[in-house]
Amino acid sequence: MSGIDKGRIEKAVREIIEALGEDATREGLIETPARVARFYEEVFEGLHSEPGDVVDAFFGEEHYQEIVMVREIPFYSMCEHHFVPFHGQAHVAYMPSGRVTGLSKLARLVEGFARRPQMQERLTAQVANCLTERLDPLGVLVVVEAEHLCMSMRGVKKAGARTVTSAVRGVMETNPATRAEAMSLLFGTR
C-alpha cells in the first residue's frame, strides 16, 4: 500500500484544470487527473518508506578506513515550494569505521530521500545524517548539484543554473587533509 490517496489527487487535479479555465472533460485532459495521480504515487514514494533501511544491509565488518565514494548519482525530486521538479546528481562519500554497505545502497538512499516534497539543502543533510547514524563512519561527505525548474521555467527564468549544496560530517569536516582528498576525488578527476 502506497499511503497515497489517488482519488483525492485526481479530484484536486480536475479542480485545478477547471480553475485554469480549461474543460477537464475534453479529450486531451480527460485522463490527466489519473495520470497525475499515478505520477505523484511514483515520485513521492519516499514519503511512505524509511530510506535509511537500505544502508542497514551491511556487507560485514571490514578493516577498510579509506574513502568510499559514489559520484554522479542521478536523481529527480519535487520542490516543496512550487511542486515543480528539480534534478541533478548527488555525490556520496564515507570513510568506514568497520561497517561497509553496498555501493548501490548509497544510490538507493539518495533516491529514497529525493522521492518526497523536498528542498535541496534538506536532501543533502538527510543523506549525510542517515549515513552517519546508520553506519557510524569516521566521516561523510555529500555534495548535491541540481537544476531547479522553479528557477528555470518561472521567476528569474535562468535555465541551466545549478545549485550546489554540501554536508560534511566527522573527519571529513574536522580534518583538512581528509576533506581535501575527498574533494580531489570528487572534482579533480572529471
Active-site residue flag, 87: no
124 and 182 inside one domain: yes
31 and 92 inside one domain: no
**Position 1 in a domain:** no
Q: Model confidence at 189, in pLDDT bands (50, 70, 90)?
A: low
pLDDT in tens, 65-112: 999 999 999 999 999 999 999 999 999 999 999 888 999 999 999 999
pLDDT in tens, 103-161: 999 999 999 999 999 999 999 999 999 999 999 999 999 999 999 999 999 989 999 99
Could you tell me which residues are beta bridge partners of residue 99?
Answer: 61
**Position 156 in a domain:** yes
121 and 27 inside one domain: no
Name the active-site residue from 10, 79, 111, 118: 79
Structurally, the chain folds into a number of domains equal to 2
112 and 160 inside one domain: yes
pLDDT in tens, 13-50: 999 999 999 999 999 999 999 999 999 999 999 999 99
141 in helix, strand or coil?
strand
13 and 97 inside one domain: no
37 and 55 inside one domain: no
Cell numbers representing residue 165 in the block: 549544496
Active-site residue flag, 48: no
65 and 35 inside one domain: no
CATH number of the domain where residue 135 is located: 3.30.1130.10
Name the active-site residue from 10, 91, 118, 120: 120
Active-site residue flag, 81: yes
pTM value?
0.93
Active-site residue flag, 91: no
Q: What is the pLDDT of residue 161?
A: 95
26 and 108 inside one domain: no
Q: What is the pLDDT of residue 3?
A: 87
Domain that holds residue 11: 6-43
